[in-house]
Chains A and B, each alone.
Chain A
Amino acid sequence: MIQAILVFNNHGKPRLVRFYQRFPEEIQQQIVRETFHLVLKRDDNICNFLEGGSLIGGSDYKLIYRHYATLYFVFCVDSSESELGILDLIQVFVETLDKCFENVCELDLIFHMDKVHYILQEVVMGGMVLETNMNEIVAQIEAQNRLEKSEVSKQLCSSPGWVEKTWAEAGVCTCVGLCCCETSGNDTHLLSSLSPLKLMDLKVNQP
């Protein structure tokens, strides 16, 4: 069983914390910190398994992690999980994130924390691996997105004249406008000019 899934950056800032076993709040933080220190010490070219963090269960538990650019993905699992299997699962998870966010980066994880959680829910459920096929996961997420879209379009219809107003605004609002085009079925050629925005920096974002 998977006990916890932790994602943090190179400085130990947590980006995603999901425990499948109950730990008190302070212990959770301590686990994140300790795990970070354990993982940070290790080079990228040595093995991805760690044993014997004293906090989660001791010798029966292992940490399996992968390091991607600025982020560490760490899975704490018990002895019934296969090391290579989990390693593969991390890859699947990250690839799914990449597919859903298109070139996922740390900022995506920060600003769409909820979405990351939804994706994770389709991969791991209650500590058990639910699905390992990336296409299936993406399909599930897309089904949810469609739902979201229909909700949003309902919203849009209920507020006429809104589109024009936002078009005048800059930055983020441009981005929003795109969405309106899409959902209300207008021309979509503007999309291409907007694509650089997807990884937009925070500073760009400021009006």
Chain B
Amino acid sequence: MSDIVEKTLTALPGLFLQNQPGGGPAAAKASFSSRLGSLVRGITALTSKHEEEKLIQQELSSLKATVSAPTTTLKMMKECMVRLIYCEMLGYDASFGYIHAIKLAQQGNLLEKRVGYLAVSLFLHESHELLLLLVNTVVKDLQSTNLVEVCMALTVVSQIFPREMIPAVLPLIEDKLQHSKEIIRRKAVLALYKFHLIAPNQVQHIHIKFRKALCDRDVGVMAASLHIYLRMIKENSSGYKDLTGSFVTILKQVVGGKLPVDFNYHILLQVLQKYILLLYLTMILTISAIFIFLSLAILFECVHTVYSIYPKSELLEKAAKCIGKFVLSPKINLKYLGLKALTYVIQQDPTLALQHQMTIIECLDHPDPIIKRETLELLYRITNAQNVTVIVQKMLEYLHQSKEEYVIVNLVGKIADVLVLNTVDTYAPDNAWFIQTMNAVFSVGGDVMHPDIPNNFLRLLAEGFDDETEDQQLRLYAVQSYLTLLDMENVLYPQRFLQVMSWVLGEYSYLLDKETPAEVIAKLYRLLMNDSVSSETKTWLIAAVTKLTPQAHSSDTVERLIHEFTISLDTCMRQHAFELKHLHENVELMKSLLPVDRSCEDLAVDASLSFLDGFVAEGLSQGAAPYKPHHQRQEEKLSQEKVLNFEPYGLSFSSSGFTGRQSPAGISLGSDISGNSAETGLKETNSLKLEGIKKLWGKEGYLPKKESKTGDESGALPIPQESIMENVDQAITKKDQSQVLTQSKEEKEKQLLASSLFVGLGSESTVNLLGKADTVSHKFRRKSKVKEAKSGETTSTHNMTCSSFSSLSNVAYEDDYYLNTLHDRGDKELKTFSLNSELLDSESLTELPLVEKFSNCSLSTPSLFADNSMEIFHPPQSTAASVAKESSLASSFLEETTEYIHSNAMEICNNETISVSSYKIWKDDCLLMVWSVTNKSGLELKSANLEIFPAENFKVTEQPGCCLPVTEAESTRSFQYSVQIEKPFTEEILSGFISYHMMDTHSAQLEFSVNLSLLDFIRPLKISSEDFGKLWLSFANDVKQNVKMSESQAALPSALKTLQQKLRLHIIEIIGNEGLLACQLLPSIPCLLHCRVYADVLALWFRSSCSTLPDYLLYQCQKVMEGS
């Protein structure tokens, strides 16, 4: 009944208006009755977008007139708002009405208020300036006794609320947590969650109340608080371990049927995923109970959980059964989820896929592209050398069908990953297939693919595989196929593909017998003249031509090209053309500059630019100003800008200031200065080399270390599983045999497909359904990247060993040098060295016995640079870095401590085999985090890797010495990371995981997290009072605050002492009752503090160049002053 009434109600206001006596111009109202209706009708009647636009514009202008007319009543306004919402939904701008929406929310009665709030939450966003006008209304409504008003206010707070105004409503909402109505409590919890999302610092103090909410008697409130906990636990998983018990209790209640199976419990499971240990028993209970219960969403989440936590066979079996339920379900949605679950599963245990192989095959031909994509994802995870052809073919088929960019990017990435990026082996069975597939990938994926793909492909070509003739064939085939592709008329290739082609042609055309370089150049020239080719590609093309020119004996094309491009409007092209022109004039130089097939050898770069010393000295002697780095110039500019000082510190400045202090440095001559500039230059070149060259040309590619894993796929399976699998397979085969007669042809095809897809997942003998053993062995095997094992070494040694593998003849030679450097650095490196030599031995790249190497140590080998393979001059490594290579924690700890302050080691996570503890070293230029992993078990720890999750506020860089392959039992391994702050914060969590690999068992992971506070990045800034004054004026951001001091620190010096000790501020001067302090936030954001004492109040005045830093520091100061 009331529903019907409801329906009619909304039509009322217009009619009321019509009939209300004496309420404004009657004409305006008459048309008001069903304006929304007529508007909608008008729009539906229209056919073109253009007409609709016109109509809406009309409507909007009439609305504009109405809302701003003083005679418009609130009721009419309500009607107008609904129409505005409608227009806004259709995408038209109704910003003139925003202010009226707020007004309606402020002034209206309940109904109008509701429309007003709704309009506001739809129109505005969190940072909209008008929102400030709403704050007062919200506060008023929150205090209202009317429940509906409170509800509305809470709703609007959770949708949009300005971040800065949170303190205004926070206490009110906190009160609501104790409200007697559950719906209010629930909404309050969600509103607080929203605050936690946008401003976590502001709700830090009410965490205790969240705990209360978790234990609320109403399930809804409890479920709502789960959101908050999921979020907080994701940020800091160690902080809430004590709550695990409560979570598990809730889960038990859900399972036991005491609580309704509600939507939000999947969140609960996600929360629980973070806490592994307590979970085993519960999960077993849960999974079996949920069978009865069968809420599929939770069941799926359970399965997910089982695979996310530390694998336990009992659970895995049960979960596998559940997956069967999903996969075999006729309902397509469940099938989709089943496939997803399988994708998680096969990462743990590939044999599970075998049970469902026929379903997977069916899904592969499913009409739904999403299902298909999910299946491909699954197949991608089980790719190995034997099934790669089939899987890639399936992927390519799908690729050709799909149009969406996202799909293409994704799939291309996967194919390329299978073929190229794969670090140990490329799975490709032969040359022709490999090149053809890559061609297909490039021509489809072309411009949207990840830039790493072409780079890795080229590196693969350049570095080659073990077999030199094989490499040559591959390259030759690539060149030939590209030439054929280029011969085709009217085909447009993606730019990336053209770039790849031009590079390959430039490098490897010499392998061709038939076609001369001149012909290739002609082809490239034709491409160059093509308008559809982008200018970036043109530079690639010109580079290729340049490489080919010395090989071509005389070429008109080159001259024509030079002629045409030296007058090109594109300066970059012109530059290249000029280079080519000058090189062309000196063929000998050109040949030595661009040798054939040397793309992957390292170049010598004199990063210090010492050859310019003479030039610099000459310039200086003629009175040129010495070079100043950028930051220095800026500082000077700043200090010059401020001429008039009105601030109190201005009086005490000496005129010398900054420039005076710095000029002496500029007077010194020659290489001193170039050395100075070289230092910055050096860093740049280093990083350039690492990033730019590495991807494209370099030998020292950044490939994760993997070696000696030939038999990985088949060898990794534990034996019991194999036997299970055998059973399964036998069963399948039996079934096969019995059905073989009745099988339709289609079936057979599917079987065939299945056998080709799932080959190699188990051991050879068991897998093949049709008994055909696939004997394709992978010919391609990448050279092992031994250098990765030494990633902990300095870059120089790194480079050297890299190149040492490029040619065997060099090995001994460079080893000598390597040893030398080691020797120079001292015996403490000996351990790393011996490790290194072991590696070399194991790779049988050198026959030199260890003893000989030792003897070589003492020899000096100055002739190193005679070998033209490489060199980069490196600055000496910082002592800290080399110390870091010590494998024993204790010794490094001792040495570090002599220099820097450090925190005590603290255990952050452990399990039965290893324990991880961490400590911080507050170095002058960064925060050094050291994690030390102690192996508690008697087993040998084969490898351990530490990975840090990226965090938005800081940059974490690995310090050398991170990973050594073998950690003996009971020994300790430490990892060093330097942490740089990027954005100020009060407290952040740095989390990561350590993955380790024990002898005889599978690898495992252990997560940890560490709290970092802003104070970890604050260092004293030692400057003089004058500098303080200068800087003070140049900073724009300031914050003032009075803090009450406790009795113990009533005097200024003692208060400042506290600040100095606790916050690491530097006390510059104390003048009477005022004090000056300074500090800097790493890397170099200064912050100045001026303190003044009146009675027991300390007035703090911060200034900094960073806008947020003062606030954060103030907070810390307050904490310190109140705390002591």
Contact = CB atoms under 8 A, between A and B. Distances in A.
Interface of A: 14, 16-18, 20, 22, 25-26, 28-29, 42-43, 45-54, 58-59, 80-85, 87-89, 99-102, 110-115, 117-118, 121, 125-126, 128-133, 140, 142-145, 147-149, 151-152, 155, 159, 162, 165-166, 172-173, 175-176, 178-179, 182-183, 188, 191, 194-195, 198, 202, 205
A89 B637 CA distance: 61
B100 interface: no
B410 A59 contact: yes
Interface stretch (B108-116, B351-359, B463-471, B1069-1077): B108-116
For chain A, what secondary structure do more than half of its interface residues adopt (helix, strand, loop), or is it mixed? helix
A151 B111 contact: yes
A159 B21 contact: yes
A172 B11 contact: yes
B404 interface: yes
Interface in B363-416: 366-368, 370-371, 373, 404-407, 410
A25 B93 contact: yes
B262 interface: yes
Interface string B1-35: 11111111111100110011100000000000110
B200 to A, nearest CB: 15
Contact of B91 (A29, A42, A50): A29
A15 to B, nearest CB: 8
Interface in B293-308: 296-297, 300-301
A50 B127 CA distance: 31
Given A47-B368, A198-B4, A205-B34, 18 more contacts: A16-B89, A46-B370, A49-B333, A49-B370, A51-B373, A80-B270, A85-B297, A87-B333, A113-B85, A114-B118, A118-B114, A126-B193, A129-B263, A143-B148, A149-B5, A176-B11, A179-B9, A191-B1
Nearest to B403: A41
Contacts, number: 205
A82 B301 contact: yes
Max chain A C-beta neighbours (<10 A), residue from B230, B264, B410:
B264
B51 to A, nearest CB: 14
A175 B7 CA distance: 9
A125 B296 contact: no
Contacts of B109: 151
Contacts of B733: none
Nearest to B94: A25
A122 to B, nearest CB: 9
A25 B88 CA distance: 9
Contacts of A145: 2, 6, 9
Given A84-B337, A159-B19, A130 B190 contact: yes
B194 interface: yes
A188 B11 CA distance: 19
B758 interface: no
A22 B162 CA distance: 13
B368 A46 contact: yes
B300 A42 contact: no
Contact of A128 (B2, B15, B227, B297): B227
26 contacts: A47-B332, A47-B371, A54-B404, A58-B406, A59-B410, A82-B301, A84-B333, A88-B297, A100-B3, A102-B3, A102-B4, A110-B40, A111-B36, A114-B10, A126-B159, A128-B193, A128-B224, A130-B220, A149-B9, A159-B19, A159-B21, A166-B15, A179-B8, A183-B5, A202-B37, A205-B34
Nearest to A206: B41
A102 B6 CA distance: 10
A83 B964 CA distance: 43
A53 B406 contact: yes
Given A51-B370, A80-B230, A125-B158, A176 B15 contact: yes
Given A166-B19, A172-B34, A132 B333 contact: no
Contacts of B183: 140
Contacts of B21: 159
A175 B406 contact: no
Contacts of B335: 47
B264 to A, nearest CB: 6
A144 B111 CA distance: 9
A83 B212 CA distance: 30
Contacts of A151: 109-111
B406 A85 contact: no
Given A111-B10, A173-B15, A178-B5, A49 B158 contact: no
Contacts of A88: 263, 297
B580 to A, nearest CB: 41
Interface in B334-350: 335-337
B201 to A, nearest CB: 19
Contact of B148 (A29, A101, A147): A147
A205 B190 contact: no
3 residue pairs, one from A and one from B, having the closest CB atoms = A126-B158, A46-B368, A84-B297
Interface string B1078-1116: 000000000000000000000000000000000000000
B85 A48 contact: no
Contacts of A29: 91
Given A17-B89, A202-B41, A128 B9 contact: no
Given A47-B332, A151-B111, A144 B148 contact: yes
Given A45-B332, A125-B187, A176-B8, A82 B368 contact: no
A59 B373 CA distance: 13
B270 A114 contact: no
B191 interface: yes
A121 B262 CA distance: 18
B90 interface: yes
A81 B20 CA distance: 50
B158 A52 contact: no
B829 to A, nearest CB: 44
A52 B442 CA distance: 21
Nearest to B119: A114
B516 to A, nearest CB: 46
Nearest to B117: A121
A205 to B, nearest CB: 7
B6 A100 contact: yes
Contacts of B367: 43, 46
Interface in B71-117: 82, 85-86, 89-91, 93, 109-111, 114-115
Given A111-B36, A118-B118, A125 B12 contact: no
B781 interface: no
A88 B82 CA distance: 29
A17 B194 CA distance: 21
Contacts of B410: 52, 59
Contact of A14 (B90, B263, B297): B90
A159 to B, nearest CB: 6
Contact of B407 (A52, A85, A132, A148): A52
B175 interface: no
Contact of A22 (B41, B111, B126): B126
Max chain A C-beta neighbours (<10 A), residue from B8, B90, B297, B370:
B8
A198 B118 CA distance: 25
Given A126-B194, A176-B8, A148 B111 contact: yes
Contacts of A147: 110-111, 148
A82 B9 contact: no
A188 B5 CA distance: 11
Contacts of A126: 155, 158-159, 190-191, 193-194
A128 to B, nearest CB: 5
B122 interface: yes
Given A117-B118, A125-B159, A159 B16 contact: yes
B461 to A, nearest CB: 30
B316 interface: no
A46 B16 contact: no
A100 to B, nearest CB: 6
A115 B19 CA distance: 24
B973 interface: no
A62 B701 CA distance: 35
Given A130-B190, A147-B148, A80 B267 contact: yes
